[in-house]
Amino acid sequence: MPALDVLQEMNPRAEIWNVLHDGGLAAIEGGIPGDVSIRVNIPYLRKMFSADGEDIVVCLTNCTELRMKIWEEDITTDDPRQIVESGTEILSTESEDVPVHIITTLGELDIDFEGFSLSLDTGRNISFEELCIACENYWNRWENEAKQNKPRQSNPYQPPC
């Protein structure tokens, strides 16, 4: 489905976390309640904008909740330092709006906020639409390269020409 069609069907406040799939939480700054920035380390997607940099920054406005249940430690924390130090990566959400419940590689992250903006780690602002298009382009390219590199199955009973 083309990125623009998807944009019309989804709620960006929830879907941003699916777009950032496999991104690691590199830094969380700000206070709750208030504005919070989350630096997501996601080199494969970041490089779709330029070769310099590895992170995309999600700035949440009026964030009222940022809490993670870390499965292995069997704890729930709202300490941004502890969340970042867990080394978790974003997997997905099935939430349709905020509050968003995100499944990560090491636990579950709950975030509630009013809105968000995006920027590259260079400070350049990007739109959600630009990020979705970059994501779609990346996965289309990945799929095409995978098809080209797929080993051809040969018939062992048929001699080569």
User: Rounded mean pLDDT of the chain?
Assistant: 89
In-domain check, residue 152: no
Residue among 2, 17, 9, 33 nearest 137 (CA): 2
| Beta bridge partners of residue 108, listed in sequence order | 69, 103
Asked whether the bond before 33 is cis by omega within 30 degrees of 0, the reply is: yes
Buried b (16+ CB within 10 A) or exposed e, 38-63: bbbbbeebbebbeeeebbbbbbbeeb
Give the per-residue pLDDT at 121: 96
Residue 52 lies in a domain: yes
Structural domain includes residue 104: yes
Helix (H, G, I), strand (E, B) or coil at 144: helix
Q: What percent of the chain has pLDDT over 70?
A: 87
Q: Is the pLDDT of residue 1 over 50?
A: no
Domain-embedded: residue 101: yes
Q: Kindly report, residue by residue over 118-132, the tens digit of the pLDDT.
A: 999 999 999 999 999
C-alpha to C-alpha distance for 8 and 140, rounded to whole angstroms = 20
In the three-class reduction of DSSP (H, G, I as helix; E, B as strand; rest coil), residue 58 is classed as strand
Q: Is residue 153 scored above 60 in pLDDT? A: no
Identify whether 148 is part of a domain.
Answer: no
Check whether 59 has a pLDDT greater than 70. yes
Q: Domain range spanning residue 126?
A: 3-141
| pLDDT 10s digits, 5-24 | 545 567 999 999 999 999 99
- Does some domain include residue 146? no
C-alpha 102/C-alpha 91 separation (Å) is: 7
Answer whether residue 103 is part of any domain.
yes
pLDDT, residue 151, reads: 63
Total structural domains in the chain?
A: 1
- DSSP letter at 100 equals E
* Domain-located, residue 29: yes
- What is the Cα–Cα distance from 96 to 84, expressed in whole angstroms? 25
Quick check: 161 pLDDT over 80?
no
